[in-house]
């Protein structure tokens, strides 16, 4: 095994450990959400979807923002590690966005009376998801590594530009979606048990993001090393 | 739980099943690629 492949394997293995720790943490979040936090009087048990939906949204938007930053830095520095990180973060971001876009409608149905509504927050989020699915399809379609990195960096930066609009969309447009209750200028408006559970869940999801990105990044290193070894033969 | 609280636990159950299925499924896919890469 080449040194690059060995380094990739080490990073991927660390990612697996972090990912497994985070999944154990997720079980802890379930215990907190079901046993520790009170049942919200107006929304009932469905409100507890909040402890998955919000952290998944946080990780998806964090992942896509980091894709944009890494892509911009790639166009400036031409360091392949930045391109590899952007690709890894985009793929993991799509997984978290899938969680956000499935738990959201499941929560919306009993509370709003509909699975989906075409308001600004939901529509922009769906577009962001499709944009990054397109980003991954573009990467799969372009075989030249330099071109692939350049083209996808531009899409990654454009995707990142949607993130602040999504966060501010609940202020800029009339929407059914609630306004932020934690990431806002004033203090979080949540009972302490709910806030603590949410913060634990956000930490667990962030560790899972780091674990999955490490695993995906290490895998990419191993696959690139295998391709280079194949070309050399 | 008071009787006037909405009874919608089925939606909670659905969300609490779907989320780990997506995340564990994705991690499992990466794990399979890692094992296959190690064999190569």
pLDDT tens-digit map of A115-127: 999 989 999 999 9
Query: Cβ of A59 under 8 Å from any chain B Cβ?
Result: no
Please list every residue in chain A whose beta carbon sits closer than 8 Å to the beta carbon of residue B27. Answer: 19, 23, 212, 215
pLDDT over threshold 90, residue A229 = no
> Cα(B4)–Cα(B1) distance, rounded to whole angstroms?
9
Residue extents of the structural domains in chain A: 41-210
Report yes or no: B33 and A71 within 8 Å, Cβ to Cβ: no
A28: CB partners within 8 A, 6+ apart: A200, A204
Mean local confidence (pLDDT), B14-23: 97
Angle of helix A120-141 versus helix A80-112 axis, rounded to 10:
150
Q: Lowest-confidence range among A20-24, A148-152, A190-194? A: A190-194
In a domain, B1, yes or no: no
pLDDT band per the 50, 70, 90 thresholds, residue B2: low
What would the two tokens of residue A217 be? 């990044």
B2 in any annotated domain: no
The overall pTM is greater than 0.80: yes
Any domain includes B3: no
Q: Supply the ipTM of this predicted assembly.
A: 0.92
State whether A46 and B7 contact (CB < 8 Å).
Answer: no
Average pLDDT score over chain A:
93
Residue A35: Cβ-neighbour burial (10 angstroms; 0-12, 13-18, 19+)? exposed
Looking at the 3D structure of chain B, how many domains does it have?
1
Q: Which two tokens stand for residue A32?
A: 């907190």
pLDDT for A82: 98
**How many CA within 13 A on the CB side of residue A97?**
26
The answer to whether A204 and A15 are in contact (CB under 8 A) is no
Rounded (10°) angle between helices A192-232 and B9-39 = 20
DSSP string, A76-145: HH--HHHHHHHHHHHHHHHHHHHHHHHHHHHHHHHHHSSS----HHHHHHHHHHHHHHHHHHHHHH--SH
CA distance A44 to B12: 10
Higher model confidence: residue A52 or residue A232? A52
- Check if A216 contacts B (Cβ < 8 Å): yes
Pick from A175, A171, A53: nearest CA to A120: A175
Q: Residue B37: its pLDDT value, please?
A: 77
Q: Which residue has the higher pLDDT, B6 or A214?
A: A214
Task: Give backbone dihedrals phi and psi of A164, rounded to 5 degrees, phi first.
Answer: -65, -35
A226 or B2: which leads in pLDDT: A226
Please determine, for residue A158, whether its predicted confidence score (pLDDT) is greater than 90: yes
The pLDDT score that the predictor gives to residue A36 is: 93
Q: Is the pLDDT of residue B1 over 80?
A: no
In this prediction, residue A185 carries a pLDDT of 67
Q: Which helix (H) or strand (E) holds A213?
A: helix A192-232
Whether A23 has its CB under 8 Å from any CB of chain B: the answer is: yes
Distance CA A54, CA A99 (A): 10
* Distance in Å, alpha carbon of B18 to nearest chain A alpha carbon: 8
Alpha-carbon distance of A205 to A141, in angstroms, equals 30
Containing structural domain, residue B30:
11-40
- For A178-221, how does the pLDDT look when each residue is reduced to its tens digit (9 = 90+)? 777 766 667 677 888 999 999 999 999 999 999 999 999 999 99
User: What distance in Å separates the CA atoms of residue B33 and residue B40, rounded to the nearest whole number?
Assistant: 11
A226 vs A197 pLDDT, higher one: A197
Please indicate, yes or no, if residue B20 is contained in any of the structural domains: yes
For residues B9, A58, A216, A81, the Cα torsion angle rounded to the nearest 10 degrees is: 180
A46:B26 CB<8 A: no
Share of chain A above pLDDT 90, in %: 80
The 10s digit of each residue's pLDDT in A62-95 is 999 999 999 999 999 999 999 999 999 999 999 9
């Amino acid at each position: 095994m080449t040194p690059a492949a060995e380094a990739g394997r080490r990073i991927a293995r660390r990612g697996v450990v972090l990912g497994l720790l985070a999944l154990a943490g997720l079980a802890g979040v379930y215990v907190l959400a079901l046993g520790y936090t009170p049942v919200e009087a107006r929304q009932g048990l469905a409100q507890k979807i909040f402890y998955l939906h919000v952290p998944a949204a946080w990780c998806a938007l964090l992942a896509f923002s980091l894709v944009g930053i890494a892509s911009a830095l790639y166009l400036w520095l031409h360091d392949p590690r930045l391109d590899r990180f952007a690709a890894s973060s985009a793929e993991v971001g799509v997984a978290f966005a899938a969680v956000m876009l499935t738990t959201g409608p499941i929560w919306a149905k009993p509370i709003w009376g509909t699975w989906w509504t075409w308001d600004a927050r939901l529509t922009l989020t769906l577009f962001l998801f499709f944009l990054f699915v397109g980003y991954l399809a573009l990467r799969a379609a372009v075989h030249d590594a330099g071109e692939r990195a350049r083209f996808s960096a531009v899409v990654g930066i454009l995707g990142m530009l949607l993130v602040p609009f999504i966060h501010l969309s609940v202020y800029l447009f009339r929407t059914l979606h609630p306004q932020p209750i934690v990431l806002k200028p004033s203090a979080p408006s949540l009972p302490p048990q709910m806030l603590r559970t949410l913060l634990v869940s956000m930490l667990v999801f962030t560790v899972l993001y780091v674990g999955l990105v490490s695993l995906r990044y290490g895998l990419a290193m191993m696959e690139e090393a295998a391709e280079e070894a194949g070309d050399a033969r | 739980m008071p009787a006037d609280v909405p009874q919608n636990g089925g939606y909670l159950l659905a969300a609490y099943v779907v989320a780990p299925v997506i995340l564990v499924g994705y991690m499992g896919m990466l794990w399979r690629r890692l094992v296959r890469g190690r064999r190569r």
